[in-house]
Amino acid sequence: MKRHLVEQSEKLLAAARERKLKLATAESCTGGLIAAALTEIPGSSDVFERGFVTYSNEAKIDLLGVAKELIARHGAVSEAAVEAMALGALENSRAHLALAVSGIAGPEGGSADKPVGTVFFALARDERPVKIVRKNFSPDLDRSDIRAQAAAFGLDMLMEAVEPHILA
């Protein structure tokens, strides 16, 4: 586990604990890296409620309730998909705040409008979307680095939602 992800997680967990917030994640391209970073910290279970690794479209549909038609229309790597994933993570957990991540880590799978390195993030709180971001990581990075950078960005988004003045 990359040390900076663990350090981010320690700060996030402390801030969420102070505010009595529970967190959930719905991860596709990061494959559970965010959940792994959070659970690397002893005692994280009082804040990290659960994580969904929904790498396949079927998992997004079955575990998070993402509509099959939504994926067919917009794709699994889209604003619409991550919004539905984040809302599904909230609905299927006891969390107050959920982060969803879906992207193209490569080396294949990119297209002209969604090249390798394209990652969508969504935060949802209290059953409503809060923020959706499209981030384009360098396609020159390898798969592992894109995934690690996406996990770090996701942890930053969670921290911003928990403590808005820190990253503002």
Helix (H) or strand (E) holding 64: helix 57-64
Domain ranges in the chain?
3-167
**With bands split at pLDDT 50, 70 and 90, how would you rate the model's confidence at 1?**
confident
Taking the C-alpha atoms of residue 158 and residue 108, their distance in angstroms, rounded to an integer, is 29
CATH number for 3-167 (one of 3.90.950.20, 3.50.30.30, 3.40.50.720, 3.40.50.10950): it is 3.90.950.20
**Chain mean position to CA 107:** 20
Enter the pTM of the model: 0.95
pLDDT digits (tens, 9 = 90+) for 37-89: 999 999 999 999 999 999 999 999 999 999 999 999 999 999 999 999 999 99
